[in-house]
């Protein structure tokens, strides 16, 4: 087998990545600008023996995805802002019961119905804190069609490995972008499957943590291990408990099982960081304009570095601090009124000036807007 060279759309690449990772179930509800994801799954899943269902609403599709996951299938849904809002309760449920699943959110300009066909990155904080309670979040942001494929594949793998919902946060630009992609050979893609129990079914406790990775095995319904699952705080048996020590043990473990492997979760690209006294930080579609701005600045002889984040939650504190600690100007480029910039400010030395290159009018941010925030451009 050789590398696969294709002309592909971002939304389509998400589907390809998920299918290559072993996804066999999709439930969704039509919403712009994510609908191509549903359409592609509808066409392709039956061909590989998988199931597609268009549910009656966004909430139902999130519920069906978690149900299918518990029945043993790798499951995905896709949506955009308004639907992402509706899905939040069950995303929290998936967090709590540790159901592997992937939620693709192709961001459009909000709040409310907003601008359905225009790009935005206004759901950065919602992807982190959208569902109630003190939950962890694992969120990936592609900035190209190739990235959409690779991160979709990665999202499914990590959902399985960490038994957690993973959010693939695209934006309208990346979702609808068509470009040439060179995908790795299929036999180079390493698939992760959720851990299975090995003991006797009679003594099985669904949340008994014996492994170092703090992640309990998840047998499928019908697989011989009968167990109970609830969104209430529960002990290792899976049954509800309101004992303070049980509550804190579960909540802490939900965080620790991801925190423990944080360093391996940080995906990013860097350009010219070493010979730089200024830094641009960006992600998603904005990162494309940031890269153009970086190139122009370099051509002008400015010492500028570029950090493109692909994992935005957990926030890659160490990576950002390392890239920015010796700079005298940091520009955070994003299509909102300043969401991830708050995180950058949190981790950086207060003496370093941090400027936002922000755009939230439904138009892709331009390299010029980002350049204007650098020092010494004119």
Partner 1 sequence: MEMEKYFRVDKLPHIWCPGCGHGSVMMSIVKGIDKMGWDPEKVTVVSGIGCSSRAPGYMNFNTLHTVHGRPIAFATGIKLANPELHVIVITGDGDGAAIGGNHLIHACRRNIGINVVLFNNQIYGMTSGQYSPMTPEGSMATTSPYGNIEPPFDLCELTRSAGANFVARGTVYHLPKLDSYIEKAFGKEGFSYVEAISQCPTYYGRRNKMKTPLEMLEWQKKNSIDIKKARDLDSEQLKGKIITGIFAERDDEEYTARYDQLIKSVQGGKE
> Under the rule (CB under 8 A), what is the footprint of partner 1?
24-25, 27, 46-47, 49, 51, 53, 55-57, 59-73, 75, 89-90, 93, 220-224, 226-232, 239-240
Alpha-carbon span 13 to 147, nearest angstrom: 8
- The smaller minimum CB distance to partner 1, of residues 220 and 362, is found at 220
- The smaller minimum CB distance to partner 1, of residues 69 and 286, is found at 69
- The smaller minimum CB distance to partner 1, of residues 234 and 291, is found at 234
- The smaller minimum CB distance to partner 1, of residues 53 and 340, is found at 53
| Residue 362 neighbours by CB under 8 Å, 6+ apart | 109, 115, 118, 119, 120
Q: Is 273 helix (H, G, I), strand (E, B) or coil?
A: coil
**Could you give phi then psi for residue 135, rounded to 5 degrees?**
-95, 160
- The smaller minimum CB distance to partner 1, of residues 23 and 285, is found at 23
The distance of closest approach from Cβ of residue 217 to partner 1 in the complex, given in angstroms and rounded to an integer, is 15
Q: 366 exposed, middle or buried (CB, 10 Å; 0-12, 13-18, 19+)?
A: middle
The distance of closest approach from Cβ of residue 169 to partner 1 in the complex, given in angstroms and rounded to an integer, is 23
Q: Per-residue b/e over 339-348, b at no fewer than 16 CB within 10 Å?
A: bbbebbeebb
Tokens, residue 323: 């890239």
| Residue 184 neighbours by CB under 8 Å, 6+ apart | 3, 4
The distance of closest approach from Cβ of residue 25 to partner 1 in the complex, given in angstroms and rounded to an integer, is 6
The distance of closest approach from Cβ of residue 331 to partner 1 in the complex, given in angstroms and rounded to an integer, is 42
The distance of closest approach from Cβ of residue 21 to partner 1 in the complex, given in angstroms and rounded to an integer, is 16
């Amino acid at each position: 087998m050789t590398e696969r060279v294709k002309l592909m759309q971002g939304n389509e690449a998400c589907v390809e990545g998920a299918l290559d990772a072993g996804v066999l179930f999709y439930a969704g509800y039509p919403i712009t600008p994510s609908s191509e994801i549903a359409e592609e799954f509808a066409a392709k899943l039956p061909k590989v023996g998988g199931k597609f269902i268009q549910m009656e609403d966004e909430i139902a599709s999130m519920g069906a995805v978690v149900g299918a996951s518990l029945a043993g299938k790798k499951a995905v849904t896709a949506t955009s802002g308004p639907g992402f809002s509706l899905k939040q309760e069950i995303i929290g449920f998936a967090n709590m019961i540790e159901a592997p699943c992937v939620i693709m959110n192709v961001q459009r300009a909000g709040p409310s119905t907003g601008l359905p066909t225009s790009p935005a990155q206004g759901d950065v904080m919602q992807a982190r804190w959208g569902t109630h309670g003190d939950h962890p979040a694992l969120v990936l942001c592609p900035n190209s069609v190739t990235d959409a494929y690779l991160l979709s594949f990665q999202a499914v793998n990590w959902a399985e490995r960490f038994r957690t919902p993973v959010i693939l946060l695209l934006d309208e630009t990346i979702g609808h972008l068509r470009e040439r992609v060179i995908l790795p050979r299929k036999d180079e893609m390493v698939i992760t499957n959720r851990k299975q129990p090995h003991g006797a079914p009679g003594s099985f406790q669904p949340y008994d943590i014996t492994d170092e990775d703090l992640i309990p095995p998840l047998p499928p319904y019908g697989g011989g291990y009968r167990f109970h699952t609830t969104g209430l705080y529960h002990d290792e048996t899976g049954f509800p408990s309101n004992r303070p020590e049980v509550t804190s043990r579960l909540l802490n473990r939900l965080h620790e099982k991801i925190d423990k492997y944080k360093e391996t979760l940080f995906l990013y690209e860097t350009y010219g960081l070493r010979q730089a006294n200024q830094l641009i930080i960006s992600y998603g579609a904005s990162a494309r304009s940031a890269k153009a701005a970086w190139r122009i600045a370099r051509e002008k002889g400015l010492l500028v570095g570029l950090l493109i984040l692909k994992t935005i939650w957990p926030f890659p504190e160490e990576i950002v601090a390392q890239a920015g600690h010796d700079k005298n100007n940091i520009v955070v480029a994003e299509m909102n009124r300043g969401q991830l910039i708050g995180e950058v400010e949190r981790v950086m030395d207060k003496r370093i000036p941090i400027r936002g290159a922000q755009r939230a009018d439904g138009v892709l941010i331009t390299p010029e807007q980002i350049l204007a925030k650098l020092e010494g451009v004119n």
